[in-house]
Amino acid sequence: MLEEVLFAGFGGQGILSSGMLLAYAAMAEGLHVAWVPSYGPEMRGGTANCGVTVSDLPISSPLVAEPTTLIAMNRPSLDRFEGDVVPGGLVLYNASLIDREVLRTDVRVLAVKANEEAERLGSVRVATNVMLGAFLAITGAASLRSAAEALQKVLPPHRHSLIPANERALEAGARIASRISSKLGLWGPGIGSVQP
């Protein structure tokens, strides 16, 4: 198993911490992991992205140049990274902020209105974890339970009040992905696409 996931969005969307959550969750399950951040000079409002590699073998290059999955949280991220995804890979995008469809026809696509979903759960700040929940349900890279447990480590103590909202976000994302996949048989060997 080798998953090379690129989380991309703008500063403040929790891009780096969602990536870290995946890394912690997979590490807890005994997998090899690496987390590499890259962000613009401004912490908030600038572009932010991080690459997370999860593998059952030792990781040689931890740099995610050709992601197996792209989680795009805003339009500039989709524009910039859509072309890099490996053929047959997965594109999860935030349809709340992205007003176009994915142009690639050789990748699997799932659009999720992550901001709306997150707001419904209590905080727009958990939107990226809605996407992470969907990713985990589709790929099985780590269990939802490991991700939920890792929240303790990723969130600083003064943010632990947000753990329940984050757990709900992970579950909601997983539910959305499973509902769609069971309906369409989407995540099997073929190429599928679910867009608004």
Partner 1 sequence: MDKVLMEGNAAFGEGAVRAGCRFFFGYPITPQSELPHYLARRMPEVGGVYLQAESEVAAINMVYGAAAAGARVMTASSSPGISLMQEGISYIAGAELPAVIVNIMRGGPGLGNIAPSQSDYFQVVKGGGHGDYRLLVLAPSSVQEIIDLMAVAFELADKYRNPTMVVGDGVLGQMMEPVELGPMPDLVLPAKAWATTGTAGRNTRNIVNSLYIQPEELEKVNLRLQAKYSQMAKEEKRWEEYRLDDAALVLLAFGMVARIAKAAVDKLRAAGIPAGLIRPITLYPFPDIPVTQAAERAKAFLVVEMNAGQMVEDVRLALCGQRPVHFYGRTGGVLTSVAEVTGAAKEIWEVIE
> Which residues contact partner 1 (rule: CB under 8 A)?
20, 23-24, 27, 32-37, 59-63, 65-66, 153
Query: Which residue in 147, 164, 6, 151 sits closest to 73, CA to CA?
Result: 6
Q: How far is the CB of 172 from partner 1 (least distance, A)?
A: 25
DSSP assignment string, 99-138: -S----SSSEEEEE-HHHHHHHHT-GGGHHHHHHHHHHHH
The residue among 61 and 182 lying less far from partner 1, judged by its C-beta, is: 61
Query: CB 23 → partner 1: shortest distance, Å?
Result: 6
Nearer to partner 1, 24 or 93 (CB): 24
Contact partners, residue 103, CB within 8 Å, separation at least 6: 82
Nearer to partner 1, 32 or 75 (CB): 32
CA distances from 21 to 128, 155, 156 (A): 11, 9, 12
Q: How far is the CB of 146 from partner 1 (least distance, A)?
A: 13
Token pair listed for 47: 């572009």
Structure-block tokens of residue 71:
């989680």
Q: Is 117 left (phi over 0), alpha (psi -120 to 50) or beta?
A: alpha
Q: CB-wise, 119 or 149, nearer to partner 1?
A: 149
> Which residues face 48 on adjacent strands?
9, 39
Query: How is residue 87 written in tokens?
Result: 């053929």
> Measured from the CB atom, is 33 or 97 closer to partner 1?
33
CB of 60 to partner 1, least distance (A): 4
Q: Which secondary-structure segment (H or E) carries 9?
A: strand 2-10
Q: Which is nearer to partner 1, 20 or 114 (CB)?
A: 20
* Least distance in angstroms from the C-beta of 133 to partner 1: 20
Q: How far is the CB of 39 from partner 1 (least distance, A)?
A: 10
Q: Which two tokens stand for residue 41?
A: 């000079």
